[in-house]
Structures are given as structure tokens and as C-alpha cells.
Amino acid sequence: MQVKEARGALAEAVSALRLELDARREELARLRRESAELGADNGALREYAESLAADFRKVHDHAEYLTSEVHRLRQHAAKLDGELHSARSLLASVQNMKVVRWTALPRRFVYRLRQRPR
């Protein structure tokens, strides 16, 4: 009788372990499917991140180019400003020369004569 009871208890234990094993196998299969899906998602996200990094490098390089171009243009503007200042100084000195001051009236007269209809 004890052997029969032991056999019955052992059969129940084996049955319970088989059910548990089947449940674990199903869970393992589900987890593998999820892992494969996440791996695919991870690959897609990695490609997207790499494309964003490449876009960032392009934008960064373009920003550096624009910064250097702005610097160059500012230097050129400063050079032109210096040349303009020199030209204005020269023009002021020429306008203040005695020849220019004393010939203003005759030049005005000549300009008026040129503008008259013949």
C-alpha cells in the first residue's frame, strides 16, 4: 500500500513538474520572440542614431565653415572700413586745398555753362 501511495505521489509530482516545464518552455519561447523583436528594434534605432550622428557631423562642419566665412567677411569689412576712412581723409585734404577752394567759383560757372541748352 505504501508503494502504491508513493507511486501516486511520485506520478503527481512528475505531472506537476511536466506542467511546470511546459510553462517554462512556453515562457522561454515568448521571451525569445520578444528578444528577436527588440533586437530588430534595436538595430533600427542604431541605424537611426548613426544617421543622426552623420547629419550632426554635416551640420557641425557646415557651421564651422560658416563661422570661418563670417570671420573672413568681418576682416574684409574692417579692411574696407579702413580704406574708406583713408579715402575720406584724402578727399577732405583735397577739398581743403587752396586750389580747390579758390577754383570753386569758376568751376561752378563752367558747370552751369555746360548745362545750358545751346
Q: Specify the pLDDT at position 109.
A: 81
- Where along the chain do its domains lie? 2-115
Owner of C-alpha cell 574696407: 80
CA distances for 13 relative to 16, 19, 20, 94, angstroms: 5, 10, 10, 117
* pLDDT in 10s for each residue of the chain, 118 residues: 788 888 888 889 999 999 999 999 999 999 999 988 888 888 889 999 999 999 999 999 999 999 999 999 999 999 999 999 999 999 888 777 766 667 777 778 888 888 877 6
Largest Cα–Cα separation, the chain: 149
Which residues are within 8 A (CB) of 94 and not within 5 positions of it... i.e. 6 or more apart? Answer: 100
Distance CA 63, CA 67 (A): 6
Q: Are 8 and 16 in contact (CB under 8 A)?
A: no
Helix (H, G, I), strand (E, B) or coil at 116: coil
Which residues are within 8 A (CB) of 100 and not within 5 positions of it... i.e. 6 or more apart? Answer: 94
